[in-house]
Amino acid sequence: MKRIHPLLGVVLTTAITGSAHAALRVVTSLQDFASIAQAIGGDRVETFALAKGYQDPHFVDAKPSFILKLSRADLLIAAGLELEIGYLPPLIDQSRNERIHPGNPGYLDASIGCDILQRPTQIITRAMGDVHPYGNPHYWTDPENGRVVARAIAAKLAELDPDGKAAYEANRAAFEARLDVKEKEWDTKMAPYAGTKVVTYHESWPNFAKRFKLEIIGTVEPKPGIPPSPTHTLEIIDVIQRDKVPLILVEPYFDTKTPNYIAEKTGAKVIMFYPSVGGIPAIRDYFDLFDYDINAFVSAMAGKGR
Ligand SMILES: [Zn+2]
């Protein structure tokens, strides 16, 4: 048996438990990215999400405490595509932290490499108040995009903290292995409902719908970010009746008055559908997100009998 010098033993133990290095401070716009960053970074990172999963990710109240978090951040991960345009740029400026400015090494635009839907084909205009001018920014609702984000985070963390490269690689591999298993499970659960037509409140779900073969035939909002109007609501009622749409999926931060009215007129059922980790306490991580929503969808459909 080899003898370890008592002092050397102490040094080794410290290195292995990770307390010898300061954790990288990772700030994310969404809890979804914080969940993935935590899975990849393990104890080498500390994460903090600005928007909570129960808040509309387009419209976040900028708290003074966010500036402090950003001023100390080593890495900022944002969804991009202008999802955060309403609150993040002034916070970055006020943080006076050059590292995390877009274009600098401490900023990661998570949309890069992801499957982005509804890209504009003509000149971008905000004249209509559309909050999705560069394509749909809710792309993490496809778990395959979550995989792309996980790979980008692993590469970025290794760049900022080269000593952790092996750990990040191992964690990324474990994350992807788990995702492989879960995707099979989710696909199996959703397969019987392929082709189901749904109405959603906001355009949060095109990536989810593509992945799980649902057809979104309308939204309660006339355009992303524009509140329901009487004319548009009547059109949606017509479409739901014509196509016998069974479900209206509503994100947790919207008023259910209009969806409930539409449901009353049509017999469609309103269910809460959570676009982000933290939407409710039961959705603790990125895997829980799909587990929860898919189970909710399946039980609602089972109860519909149409
Ligand atoms: Zn949106």
Query: From ligand 1's centre to the CA of 122, what distance in Å?
Result: 19
The band of 121, judged by pLDDT with boundaries at 50, 70 and 90, is confident
The percentage of the chain sitting over the pLDDT mark of 70, rounded to a whole number, equals 90
Q: 3-state class of 277 per DSSP?
A: coil
Look up tokens 């438990």; give the residue.
Answer: 17
CA 115 to ligand 1 center in whole angstroms: 16
Partnered with residue 24 across adjacent β-strands are 45
pTM exceeds cut of 0.85: yes
What pLDDT does residue 128 have? 58
pLDDT bin (cut points 50, 70, 90) of residue 127 is low
Q: Kindly tell me if the per-residue pLDDT of 12 is higher than 50.
A: no
Ligand 1 centre and the CA of 217: distance in Å?
Answer: 17
pLDDT at 130: 76
DSSP 99: G
The arithmetic mean of pLDDT across residues 167-191, rounded, is 98
**Distance in Å, CA 78 to ligand 1 centroid:** 14
Going by C-beta distance under 8 Å and a sequence separation of 6 or more, which residues neighbour residue 48? 25, 26, 27, 28, 34, 69
Which whole number is the average pLDDT over 146-156?
98
Q: Which residue shows structure tokens 């951040």?
A: 73
Residue 9 has pLDDT above 60, yes or no: no
Q: Could you give the percent of the chain with pLDDT greater than 90?
A: 87
Q: What's the pLDDT score for residue 169? A: 98
Q: How far is the CA of 204 from the centre of ligand 1 (A)?
A: 6
Cα 141 to ligand 1 centre (Å): 12
Tell me the sheet residues that pair with 270: 248
**pLDDT, averaged across the chain:** 92
